[in-house]
Amino acid sequence: MSFRIAFAGKGGTGKTTIASLLCRSLQARNIKPILAVDADPNSCLADKLGLRVARTIGALREELRARPEAKPAGISKNEWIERQINEALVESLGLDLLVMGRQEGPDCYCFINHLLREYLGRLGKQYAAVVIDNEAGLEHLSRRTDGSVDIMDLVRTLHLDIGACYLVLNQCAGPVPHAVMAQFQPTGLEPLALIPADPALAAGDVLGQSVGELPANAPAVVAVDGLVSVLLERSKR
């Protein structure tokens, strides 16, 4: 089984929340290992997953550029980078988190970028599920913007051929008004799930809780679990 999913959408619509709830559902189903990728420079996926980030890939990239002499003698640059990325992975309960962070400086560290890409490509294949939380804005589906990870670049790197695009309506109990659906019609996207507004999520935000701390019967937890069931069913077709 190989499950790859990336979230895209406008700011504040719930991408990080749903991505983390989706990880929770996969963990509960014992689908592992999972690679969660935080591709938002203003990342907070780690908080929602209840994890601490030691180092981002952006920071690693900057360190490698600024201090090439940090590489110990006797190992190749490739091995050194692999080791560093492995150390940057936050591991917990069958889930590894990779935080891309900010892409500082000029976009010309070709050698480092090439090695990072090559390794990330191999890394992505090792996971039963890859969940990417993207930064806000649909424009990232088509072009790179300053300081951000190009989602399509990442999708290619992790060998995530786009099989299908779906619409998830968050904070929406349904039935969805015609006027709302009419807005989405031009996208041609099939609405796959409605995730209700869940007061437990808002309360958890205030308390700084991870989604793992939400009760199993919280409406958003149940709804995202339902979304995972549908996605898994579809992936078998």
Ligand X SMILES: Nc1ncnc2c1ncn2[C@@H]1O[C@H](COP(=O)(O)OP(=O)(O)OP(=O)(O)O)[C@@H](O)[C@H]1O
Rank residues 15 and 61 by Cβ distance to Mg ion and give the closer one. 15
Smallest gap, in angstroms, from Cβ of residue 92 to ligand X? 20
Q: Rule CB under 6 A: is residue 46 a binding residue for ligand X?
A: no
Per-residue three-class SS string for the chain: CCEEEEECCCCCCCHHHHHHHHHHHHHHCCCCCEEEEEECCCCCHHHHHCCCCCCCHHHHHHHHHHCHHHCCCCCCHHHHHHHHHHHHCEEECCEEEEECCCCCCCCCCHHHHHHHHHHHHHHHCCCCEEEEEECCCHHHHCCCCCCCCCHHHHHHHCCCCCCCCEEEEECCCCCCCHHHHHHHHHHCCEEEEEECCCHHHHHHHHHCCCHHHCCCCCHHHHHHHHHHHHHHHHHHC
Q: Which residues contact 42 (CB under 8 A, 6 or more apart)?
A: 135
Smallest gap, in angstroms, from Cβ of residue 88 to ligand X? 21
User: Out of 53, 136, 192, 232, which residue is the one contacting ligand X (CB under 6 A)?
Assistant: 136
Q: Could you list the residues that contact Mg ion (CB under 5 A)? A: 15-16
Smallest gap, in angstroms, from Cβ of residue 20 to Mg ion? 9
Q: Rule CB under 6 A: is residue 216 a binding residue for ligand X?
A: no
Please give the Cα distance from 69 to 57 (Å, whole number): 18
User: Out of 4, 6, 8, 14, which residue is the one contacting ligand X (CB under 6 A)?
Assistant: 14
Rank residues 16 and 170 by Cβ distance to Mg ion and give the closer one. 16
Please give the Cα distance from 133 to 131 (Å, whole number): 7
Q: What are the CA-CA distances from residue 88 to residues 16, 17, 60, 66, 231 (Å)?
A: 20, 22, 8, 18, 29
Q: Rule CB under 6 A: is residue 88 a binding residue for ligand X?
A: no
Question: Using CB under 6 A, which of the segments 5-13, 54-62, 74-82, 144-152 binds ligand X?
Answer: 5-13
Size of the site for ligand X (CB under 6 A): 19
Q: Which of residues 175-214 bind ligand X (CB under 6 A)?
A: 195, 197-198, 201-202, 205
Smallest gap, in angstroms, from Cβ of residue 40 to Mg ion? 5
Q: Rule CB under 6 A: is residue 38 a binding residue for ligand X?
A: no
Q: Look at residue 198 and give the partner it binds from ligand X, Mg ion, none, a contact being a CB closer than 5 to 8 Å depending on partner kind.
A: ligand X
Smallest gap, in angstroms, from Cβ of residue 9 to ligand X? 6
Smallest gap, in angstroms, from Cβ of residue 137 to ligand X? 8
User: Out of 4, 5, 6, 15, which residue is the one contacting ligand X (CB under 6 A)?
Assistant: 15
Residues that bind ligand X (CB under 6 A): 9, 11-17, 40, 136, 170-171, 195, 197-198, 201-202, 205, 220
